[in-house]
Each structure stands twice: as C-alpha cells, then as structure tokens.
Amino acid sequence: MDNAFISFGQIVEKVLDFKGDISDEDNGIHFYIDEIEVGTPVELDIIVDENGKVTIGAIPPLYRVNTSFRPSYHSITLTAKTHPKDGN
C-alpha cells in the first residue's frame, strides 16, 4: 500500500474516536452523542496480494489538479450509533 494511505480500518477507527458523553457540571451542561454520520471524498488504494488477500487503503484527496483527466474520487459515509445502555 502507498505510504500516503492508511488502512480502511484505521480510517473507521479514527472517525469513531470521539467522546459521546460531554459534560460541564459547573455550568449544568450535559451533552450526549448517540449517533454520528461523516461523509467525505476519498482516494482508494486497493492491493491484492499473491494469495488473493485484499488490502484497502484510504486517504482524503491529496491533490486538486486542473487537467483534462481528473483522478477518480470515491465517496464514503460512515454512520455510527450507540447501543442503548441497560436496555433503555
């Protein structure tokens, strides 16, 4: 995989690395995120090794070049939802 790319799993992991429970007791504020949706264009690097194992790398678009032929960008949307706690 090209060194500029990270694995698709790492992309998902980084997008989902947020605190869903934010509070400021001094000001009486409690904010809870139970769903997040992130959409972004991506460049993909897809590698198939000699055993048929597929590795997908992804990165936000690196370049914007005005030419008659533009790189093909893909679009992904990730949606994450929390599970209800204690059956609530």
Residues 34-48 have pLDDT tens digits of 888 888 788 888 889
The pTM of the full predicted model, rounded to 2 decimals, is 0.51
Longest dimension (CA), the chain: 59
In a domain, 10, yes or no: yes
In a domain, 1, yes or no: no
CA distance linking residue 1 with residue 12, whole number of Å: 17
CA distances 1 to 40, 52, 77, Å, are 21, 15, 22
Residues 65-88 have pLDDT tens digits of: 665 655 667 788 888 887 666 544
Residues of the domain holding 15: 6-19+31-83
Report helix, strand or coil for 14: helix
In a domain, 55, yes or no: yes
Which residue shows structure tokens 């139970």?
A: 34
* Tally of domains within the chain: 1
In a domain, 58, yes or no: yes
